[in-house]
Every structure is written in C-alpha cells, then in structure tokens.
Amino acid sequence: MSRILEVRIPDGPLPEKWSNYKAKARLVSPNNRKKLDVIVVGTGLAGASAAASLAEMGYNVKSFCFQDSPRRAHSVAAQGGVNASKNYRNDGDNVFRFFYDTIKGGDFRSREANVYRLAECSASLIDQAVAQGVPFAREYGGYLRNRSFGGVQVSRTFYARGQTGQQLLLGAYQALMRQVSAKKVTLYARHEMLDLVVIDGRARGIIARNLDTGQTERHAAHAVVLATGGFGKIYYLSTLAMGCNASAIWRAHKKGAFMANPSWTQIHPTCLPQSGAYQSKLTLMSESLRNDGRIWVPLQHDDTRAPGAIPEEERDYYLERKYPSFGNLAPRDIASRAAKEQIDAGKGVGPLKNAVYLDFSKAIGEYGKSTITERYGNLFTMYKKITGIDAYREPMKISPAAHFSMGGLWVDYDLMTSVPGLFAIGEANFSDHGANRLGANSLLQACVDGYFVLPYTLQNYLADEIRTPRFDPDSTPFIEVERAVKAQLQQFTDCRGSKTADEFHRELGRELYDKCGLLRSGEGLRNAIRNIRELREAFRHDLLVPGHTDEVNSELEKAGRVADYMEIAELMCIDALHREESCGAHFREEYQTAEGEARRDDERFCYSAAWQWTGNPSEPVLHKEPLVFETITPTVRSYK
C-alpha cells in the first residue's frame, strides 16, 4: 500500500525557506553534544565535511571508510570544478538563475526547496574552501577564475586546473584529521559497513568488517549518516574506481530506507573510449574541456583518414549544429545521446569506431598553447600518458561512459531517510539533481550537505535524543544483525562454484548498459529484468570465492558488493519500466519527439518514485512524492 511521504519542507516563500528552518530548528546545547554519538560512513567530500563539522560542534563521531586513508575516497577523482553563483564574471548569474539552471538541467524532476538551498549555500562553500587553502585558479588581479559547464550560459564554475575534487578533498581531509587529533573523531579506515542496526524503528548503529583482519565489529550511535557515494559502478565499465559500491545504501534500503529514482543514472559524454575486453575501468576527461574543445565526427561513414586529413567541410560539429544556443556545452545527457547517435550511425572514430573527436586546434590557434596548458595541462598530460597521443597536435577521442547516479536513498528536506535517525548525504541520496545532473554540481552538493545543511538538520533530530542513553553494541539487536551478516559471508565462501564475482559483475554491467543505459525500451527492460533474475540465480549457485571469511579476502568483499548489485539492477529496470516517459538521462525510445528529443509526461509522472523493500527484489512497493512547482513552471527542456 502506498504511503504518504513526509517531506517536511518549511513554510514561506522559496528564498526564505532555509532561513526560516534555521531560525526555528531545535538545538542541542554544547554540554549535551558530548553525550551524543554519531556514525558517519564514508570519507569523501560529503562524509569528511560532515564528520569534521559535527565533531567541531562537540559531538562524538565515528568515521568509517574502506580505503586505507580518507584521502583515497573517490571525490579525489573529480576534475572540472565546483559551481557557485558569485557572479564574478558580471554575466548575470544569481541564486535564482543557478536554481533554475539546475531544475531545468534535471528536466523538472527535482524538489524545488532542496535545489534552491543548494544554490543559496553555494557562495558560502567557495569562501569555506578558500579559507581552507584550496588553490582555485585565479585571474592576474587575484580574483578567482571561472569557467562554464554544460547546460548553462554563465561562468559559475570554480576550479583548480583539472584537480578540483582532489584539492577540495584535501581541505576536508585536513579538517577531519584535526578532529581526529583532538579525539573528537575516531577514524576506522579499512572498515566496510555491511549492515544497519535498527532498534524500535530508529537507526542505532552499524555492523562493519575490518578488511585487514576479516573480523566483524558492532558500532552503536544515536544517529547514522551515510555518505558512501553512488552506484554507477553497477555497469562495471564506468568512470568510478573499482572499489566504489552501493552496499551501504542498499543494506539500509533493506532495513526500511526507501530507494528513490534508481533508474536515473548519468552517462558522461567525455571519457576515454573502451579499447578492449580486458578493461575494468574507463577514464574520465573533465567536462570542462568542452569549454574550448569542439566535438565533431566525419561526415562520411567509416572514414579511416587521420583527423588532420579531413577538411572542415567534411566534418560534422553536430552539437553546434543541433543545439546552437549551447553548442558543445549542451548538458551531459543530451551530449552523450548525441554522441551515441553518431557512433551508431557509423561515424564513430578510433580503432573500435566507438568514439568522437574533441578538437582543440581552434582554441590553440586563438589563445595559444600556453593558455590551454594553463587551463587543462594535467588533463592533456593524463591523456598522453594513457593513449600516447599529443592532444595539442591532434584531437582527443572521447566516448560516453557510466558516471553518476542521480537516484539514491530517498530523503526529506532534513536529508533524513524514511528510517528515523538515518541520514544520507552527497551522491548517496537522490535529492538535488532530478533526472540529470549538471556538471560541477556534484562537488557542490557533497560539500553543502556536509558543511552547511547536516549540522542543522541532524541537530534538529538529536534534540530529542539527549535523554537517550548510549546503546550497548553487545545487546541482542546488534548480535542478531551481526549473526545474519556472518551467515551471508559464509554462504559466499561455501558456494565453491566456477565463476568469480568479477565475471558476474561484467555480465551484469553489459546487460544494464545495453538495456538500461543511454537508451531504454519497454521490451528491452522486460528482457533485462528476466535476464537479471536468471543471472542472480546463477550467482547464488555458481559463485567462486576462495579463502575464508575471517581473513583478508578481497574476493569476499567483491562478492558482497556484486550480490547487492544483482538486486539493485532489477530495481533500476523496474523503475525505468514503470516511468513511461523520457526525462533527462532516462530516455525511453517509445517516448520521444519528432526531432528525437525527450518527451516528458508531467500529467502522469511529475513525481519522485520511492521504492520500498518487501523481502523480494522482484516485488518492490512504489511510493510517490509529488513534485510541486510553486516558483517556476515546467516547460519543454530545450537547448536549441
């Protein structure tokens, strides 16, 4: 039975909602904060900023990451920049324009109040990062420099060459380690969360596995914060690191947290193309390159000439042709589909004919090589190191690849899930991006959630917890959850089949990319659901995990993550099948305009789909959060 979701959006006009919330939010006095324990899982930008901020306020924080250091969280891989509406270029940017660009970029499928708060807090994030010493690019006069990203007509992206995520993460990491040194944060590196402990309907702790010893551990707290990133690695070939996974949010989903819009996954347009079946990862090239690079393919099919031998009149700059207002800065979903369209039409380039050109010759001629080097030098170096090609002399070859998940755990305005006391921040939740994320909003959301939103909203929740005694991790609820975790681990090692978790993962990824990737259809999704069920059954009986549970065992780690992917994949396809429209990254072939653009159905599908676990991955229950637009009117999303 469908349930009414309590979103808890504050009263008042949109620009005043967050101020009204902060003015009326309940507080915890400093002398009571030290009585309260908070678990934060994940040490990327969202997790590190949240743990550091909460510890600075006086809470006792336990911070968990499966990497050997918080600095190795995947936020380090983000390249192009972070958005903020500071209007340094005097080009007309403001909070409302940022809000509107983000809502439109998400194809009018996100919650107004959350998106406006993101835009409103953006300027404060830049000030915070500068104070931490983040070395943003600067103009000659000392002002911070901006550049544009896809889907906007202003320059609001602040950057540190092609290392913005790394530099922001170093700032958050230093803030975190300061609190570790002050003994307000206890850091558990090389620990993976394997389950959530819920007592009397509230999140009260986690079960984690020490990856260096194989031992499981019980950890209790008054609240749990998940900052564990997205599930783009479900496609196997993606821009994400091999260790990225969705197990924390999925285990929380199975304990009652709703999963929202899981089919909304972003395919990034500027990645290095796959070069062979042996690959396990694809390399991201920052979207910022589209500021100066021009994307094109040969007009001829199966053209084998070198790019320099193809004259201008025989090139198709297809984004500039199709979307003249935005050109090469069209949003990611549109740019990715356009590239696939050209590749499928036989105009792809490279050895496997699976790429398009990203050409800097015009920009180098106009600005000079030194300027392009200053803007993107490390990206050109990385490209040459991987491909052996000098992109200053000939175009890069790029191709779409799985990148980011807009879907995630459903959260209310407080960033709390449907399980009281369980919060999800950053890419682990669904809240800000709708059906398509604009570039450079990911780093912003992670930082804003951790530095500026959660310290208020979590405190609002903890105000009722000051009389709640600390929970005993040796109590029966913790022991029972740990027993179930150990039983699952034992099942993996007892199976003794013939195929590794990696082999199953690769097969699952191919199925998803083909049928629930850039293009979807009803028939393809139904086939995918059937095939995923068969693959999941084969996984149960034919999995090979060498070694034992109580030792260092990376294959056991992979098995748990792929087992969760087997269930998430079906929910992705169920969600995509039920949404009979095209919006953002979700493109159903049956629902498109005569020009081949997405055809939204606001009458039937203007809501966020929040799915509830029932115990059977094939029978989730759908709950709908209607999207109410009080400030803007959804329109046909056009970049022409």
Q: What is the DSSP string of 77-131?
A: G--S-EE----TT-SS--HHHHHHHHHHHTTT-S-HHHHHHHHHHHHHHHHHHHH
Same fold, 269-400 and 484-608: no
Catalytic residue among 33, 156, 218, 332: 332
Sorted by sequence, the CB contacts under 8 Å of residue 9 that are 6+ apart come out as: 17, 111, 113, 413
C-alpha to C-alpha distance for 494 and 138, rounded to whole angstroms: 58
CA quadruple 234, 239, 245, 246: dihedral sign:
negative
- What does the pLDDT read at residue 517? 96
CB 79 within 8 A of CB 284: yes
Contacts of 370 (CB under 8 A, 6+ apart): none
Helix (H) or strand (E) holding 205: strand 202-210
Closest Cα partner for 234 from 272, 192, 188, 265? Answer: 265
Half-sphere exposure of 507 (CA within 13 A, CB side): 16
Q: Where are the alpha helices (DSSP H) in 543-589?
A: 554-578
| One-letter amino acid for residue 85 of the chain | S
pLDDT of residue 3: 64
Q: What is the pLDDT of residue 472?
A: 96
Residue 206 corresponds to which tokens in the numbers above? 């986690």
pLDDT for 279: 87
Classify domain 484-608 by CATH architecture: Up-down Bundle (1.20)
Burial of residue 341 (number of CB atoms within 10 Å: 0-12, 13-18, 19+): middle
Averaged pLDDT in 10-residue chunks for the chain of 640 residues = 81 96 97 97 98 98 97 94 93 96 97 98 96 94 91 93 94 98 98 98 98 97 98 96 96 98 97 89 92 96 94 97 92 94 96 96 96 92 96 97 97 98 98 96 98 98 96 97 98 96 97 97 98 98 96 97 98 98 97 94 98 98 96 90
Cα(401)–Cα(237) distance, integer angstroms: 7
Out of 3.90.700.10, 3.30.479.10, 3.20.20.80, 1.10.3720.10, select the CATH number for domain 269-400.
3.90.700.10
483 among known catalytic residues: no
Element containing residue 53 per DSSP (H, E): helix 45-57
Q: Can you give the residue ranges of every domain in the chain?
A: 269-400, 484-608
- Residue 401, SS3 per DSSP: strand
Residue 85: name the closest of 40, 125, 26, 137 by CA. 125
Contacts of 537 (CB under 8 A, 6+ apart): none
- What stretch of H or E contains 389? none
Q: Which residues contact 411 (CB under 8 A, 6 or more apart)?
A: 417, 423, 424, 429, 430, 431
Please name the helix (run of DSSP H) or strand (run of DSSP E) that holds residue 183, with its range, or none.
none
